[in-house]
Amino acid sequence: MRLADIARASRDIGAASARTEKVALLAELFRAADPADAPVVIMYMSGRLPQRRIGVGWNTLRERREPSPEPRLGVREVDALLTRIAAVSGKGAQGERKRLLDELLGAATEEEQLFLLRLISGELRQGALDAVAVEGLASAAGAPVADVRQAVMLSGSPAAVAEVLLSRGPSALAEFRLTVGRPVLPMLAHTAKGIDEALARTGPCALEEKLDGIRIQVHRDGDDVRVFTRTLADITDRTPEVVALVRALPVRRVVLDGELLAFDERGRPRPFQETSGRTGSTLDVAGAQTAVPLSPVFFEVLHVDGEDLLDTPAAERRALLDRLVPEAQRVRRLVVADPTDPKERAAAAAFAAEALERGQEGVVVKSLDAGYSAGRRGTSWLKVKPVHTLDLVVLGAEWGHGRRTGTLSNLHLGARAADGTFAMLGKTFKGLTDALLTWQTERLRKLTVAEETWGVTVRPELVVEIAFDGVQRSTRYPAGVTLRFARVVRYREDKLPSDADTVESVTALLP
């Protein structure tokens, strides 16, 4: 398949407003694709590179290259060249990556260049994310959407499913099942506004502490133990304590789902970035293990000695987990058999409050009779956690890319410092609707004091309410702190910059 076909489809899908129209366009594209091209095509239409990252920054991407007058690139040719770019390392790597990228973009037409730049930079916002791409694939092959979705979740790879499905038909989907040693996409939770709402929606349930750690999935087959992250990355070599613990369990084959945390001497979770830093480093693992020991805390078992448990009710899965895993390595929980009972509701509220006092993020409310929906955000799991918000001042904004080209998108956020100035805490482009983007671009243009190639610096006059999941230390910003998962809630034109939150109030939120 030619890259031009994919670029054209991407443009048409981005212009389509209805989900059904997007699915139809994707189905047409997949029907035209050679099965050997399908793994790359579905990744591109999901907005991702098979290589994940290729080591090329925006400064390199934004350089203009003279486009090819005619389309001549094939999708596998493009994938091979991107693989070569990603593999470049050592002295002179930056220059060699740029040379290869110039070679690629120089062979691309103007439309293909735009598609590639958006894809590589992560700005391919065409509305064809994984779920829609899977629906298009199912339609192209005449397969039930639920079956294709299940295959993708169990394989952890839409690319693998696409090639098998388009080459061999719907019957081949039966080959994709839970396999010990091959990670599956984890089940995720929807959000509830509070405990009462969550109890009303789930019925008989269990409340579990929502842990602020690294999601892990551990597979054991005999003495072989593998540890995977939420994104299915293998971190076995970096987590020897997890391997040792799971190898000691009274079972030969098992798949466990849980979180990995570092605890302080009081038994409270250490800052998330310490856990993240530990699992992200491959240097001196033994020394890191001594400095930041990690503890797995499990809340699900998906397979035990030849028996798959995905369709087994949650209450039965938990009973199995209780028999296999020591209490210290199991998440704390409270069963609410009758959510209409005032005493049980009060106990649930007290459990949630205690979880926060123990340093956890909140709770997850899980239906007792639900199965495990791998890779899906199931309504039988509802997370409840307090929403933190701050009133911050906009200090600048960066020009958007892709669909946001021409708008001021990525906001620079600041809190009031003790000397009356504003200290930058971080950036965000999350939570912005198209209407809000248009409004803030016009508003920030009026406040601009300096224009840069990346965007604008503005007078610190506009207050914005920002939601976030937590605060962590950072050497990147002058106040030494930054926000985790910041997103825009609304602009507060009713507030003055002097009403904004202070750096002191933000640092007080550090764990």
Which of 384, 416, 431 marks a domain boundary?
384
Residue 56 half-sphere exposure, CB side, CA atoms within 13 Å? 30
Indicate whether 262 and 201 sit together in one domain.
yes
Residue with tokens 């070569």: 84
203: CATH: 3.30.470.30
Taking residues 472-488, report their average pLDDT: 90
The helix (run of H) or strand (run of E) holding residue 191 is: strand 188-191
Per residue in 99-155, pLDDT (tens digit) is 999 999 999 999 999 999 888 876 665 544 677 889 999 999 999 998 998 898 888
Taking CA atoms, 444 is separated from 58, 326, 411, 413, in Å, by 23, 56, 10, 13
Mean pLDDT of the chain: 90
Does 468 reside within a domain?
Answer: yes
125, 151 contact by CB (below 8 A): no
Residues 368 and 255 in one domain: yes
**What is the predicted pLDDT for the residue at 139?**
96
pLDDT at residue number 123: 62
Instruction: Answer yes or no: are the C-beta atoms of 22 and 132 closer than 8 Å.
Output: yes
Number of structural domains (the chain) is 3
408 lies in some domain: yes
The model's pLDDT over 317-336, given as tens digits with 9 standing for 90+, comes to 999 999 999 999 999 999 99
Position 449 confidence tier, pLDDT thresholds 50, 70, 90 = confident
CATH number for the domain spanning 134: value is: 1.10.3260.10
The percent of residues above 70 in pLDDT, for the chain, comes to 98
**Per-residue three-class SS string for 226-293:** EEEECCCCECHHHCHHHHHHHHCCCCCEEEEEEEEECECCCCCECCHHHHHHHHHCCCCHHHHHHHCC
> Are 352 and 252 members of one domain?
yes
Residue 182 maps to a domain: no
Closest CA relative to residue 257, chosen from 182, 155, 184, 178: 184
Say which CATH number the domain at 396 has.
2.40.50.140
Q: Check whether residue 262 and residue 380 sit in a common domain.
A: yes
- Asked if residue 206 lies in contact with residue 75, where contact means CB atoms within 8 angstroms, the answer is no
Residue 418 class from Cβ within 10 Å (0-12 exposed, 13-18 middle, 19+ buried)? exposed
Whether the Cβ atoms of residue 237 and residue 282 lie closer than 8 Å to each other: yes
Evaluate whether residue 181 is within a structural domain: no
Map residue 212 onto helix, strand or coil.
Answer: coil
Predicted confidence (pLDDT) per residue in 336-365, tens digit? 999 999 999 999 999 999 999 998 989 999
Q: What pTM was computed for the model? A: 0.71
Nearest to 225, CA basis, from 200, 210, 205, 245: 245
User: Do 492 and 392 have their domain in common?
Assistant: yes
- Residue 165 binned pLDDT confidence (cut-offs 50, 70, 90): very high
Q: Which domain holds residue 443?
A: 388-508
d(CA 493, CA 465): 10
Regarding whether 436 and 405 lie in a shared domain, the answer is yes
* Domain shared by 373 and 398, yes or no: no
Is residue 246 domain-shared with residue 374, that is, in the same domain? Answer: yes
Residue 117 contacts by C-beta under 8 Å, 6 or more apart in sequence? Answer: 61, 105, 123, 401
Eight-class DSSP state of 47: T
Whether 453 is in a domain gets the answer yes
Q: Is 91 a catalytic residue?
A: no
Q: Which of 210, 366, 383, 385 is catalytic?
A: 210
Tell me the CB-side half-sphere exposure of residue 306, using CA atoms within 13 A: 0
- Beta carbons of 164 and 204 less than 8 angstroms apart: no
Per-residue pLDDT, 389: 85
Q: How does pLDDT run across 211-257, given as a tens digit for each residue?
A: 988 899 999 999 999 999 988 889 999 999 999 999 999 999 999 99
* The predicted structure's pLDDT at residue 464: 93
Which among 175, 204, 221 is the end of a domain?
175
Same domain for 127 and 68: yes
What is the rounded average pLDDT of the residues 174-190? 89
Give yes or no: residues 165 and 234 share one domain.
Answer: no
Flag whether 287 is in a domain: yes
Q: Which two tokens stand for residue 44?
A: 């591109």
Question: DSSP labels for 133-184?
Answer: HHHHHHHHHT--HHHHHHHHHHHT-HHHHHHHHHHH-GGGGGG---BTTB--
CB count within 10 Å of CB 189 equals 18
pLDDT given at position 32: 95
**307-308 and 333-336 beta bridge pairing:** unpaired
497 pLDDT more than 90: no
Backbone phi and psi for residue 403, each to the nearest 5 degrees, phi listed first: -60, -25
User: Which residues make beta-bridge pairs with 392?
Assistant: 464
**pLDDT score recorded for residue 377:** 73
Give residue 182's Cα distance to chain centre: 20
Angle, alpha carbons 222-226-228 (nearest 5°): 150
**Pairing mode of beta strands 377-384, 188-191:** parallel
The DSSP symbol for 494 reads T
Query: What was the pLDDT predicted at 126?
Result: 54
Listed residue (54, 55, 61, 49) closest to 6, CA to CA: 49
The answer to whether residues 43 and 123 belong to one domain is: yes
Does residue 469 sit within a domain? yes
d(CA 8, CA 368): 47
Which of 364, 384, 404 represents a domain boundary (last residue)? Answer: 384
203 and 160 in one domain? no
Residue 180 belongs to some domain of the structure: no
H/E stretch holding 353 = helix 342-357
Does residue 303 register a pLDDT over 80? Answer: yes
pLDDT at 46: 85
